[in-house]
A and B are shown apart, each in its own frame.
Chain A
Amino acid sequence: DAKTTQPPSMDCAEGRAANLPCNHSTISGNEYVYWYRQIHSQGPQYIIHGLKNNETNEMASLIITEDRKSSTLILPHATLRDTAVYYCIVRVAGTAGGSARQLTFGSGTQLTVLP
């Protein structure tokens, strides 16, 4: 799986958009970009994933550059409850008939949402 680079920490004002960057310059064509977060004392939580197109769900948007070497997770209106460590993970997708793939968590970005 490709290595990812994230800033160690970021601050964001409550109500504003939080933009979390991730570099994955060695990503391969069959590798997905996944984002998880871990709120203090809780288990990691899936946020979103994508291959090459931008994705949006009820939690966030994922913007992947055209060359796929970097991506940005966007929380459109950050709240205090979004304070967490955010992990960007690049991995080959598992297949229904193939082997499962474990997640390799790096050190992530500590996002602090300020009141």
Chain B
Amino acid sequence: DARVTQTPRHKVTEMGQEVTMRCQPILGHNTVFWYRQTMMQGLELLAYFRNRAPLDDSGMPKDRFSAEMPDATLATLKIQPSEPRDSAVYFCASGLGTSGGETQYFGPGTRLLVL
């Protein structure tokens, strides 16, 4: 049963520290999405990639967030420096674009708490 995996599952850090979250998309999927979920804002899209190229990162605070795909099996989301308002659950999703539609499969998320 193919699944999206994310690490770490939980992260507690202090303000100002760097945070790196990792995602392994489902093998063969060509799109990767990063979402953030908070009680106040719900699910927000931060960035997404197609064939490892960034297509849209307009939802991301550019001064502190960065997203990359070093290879087809790894996507990373970094926050440097982290702030308390970054506390949220970060989800990675992967999908396969076809003419019939694109279904996104979500990972279990990384729960981030910035103190």
CB <8 Å contact, B108 and A43:
yes
A43 nearest CB across to chain B (Å): 3
A-B contact count (CB 8 A): 65
Q: How many Å lie between the Cα of A51 and that of B105 in the bound state?
A: 19
Q: How many Å lie between the Cα of A54 and that of B109 in the bound state?
A: 32
In the complex, which range does the number of interface residues on chain A fall in?
20 to 34
How many residues of B are in contact with the other chain, CB < 8 A? 26
Main secondary structure of the interface of A (DSSP, over half): loop
Q: Given A94-B97, A100-B55, A105-B43, decide whether A46 and B50 contact each other with a Cβ distance below 8 A.
A: no
Q: How many Å lie between the Cα of A51 and that of B93 in the bound state?
A: 22
CB <8 Å contact, B102 and A93:
yes
Q: Given known contacts A95-B97, A103-B43, what 17 new A-B pairs fall within 8 Å (CB)?
A: A34-B101, A42-B109, A43-B4, A43-B106, A46-B104, A51-B101, A93-B99, A93-B100, A93-B101, A94-B102, A99-B50, A100-B33, A100-B48, A100-B95, A102-B56, A103-B104, A106-B42
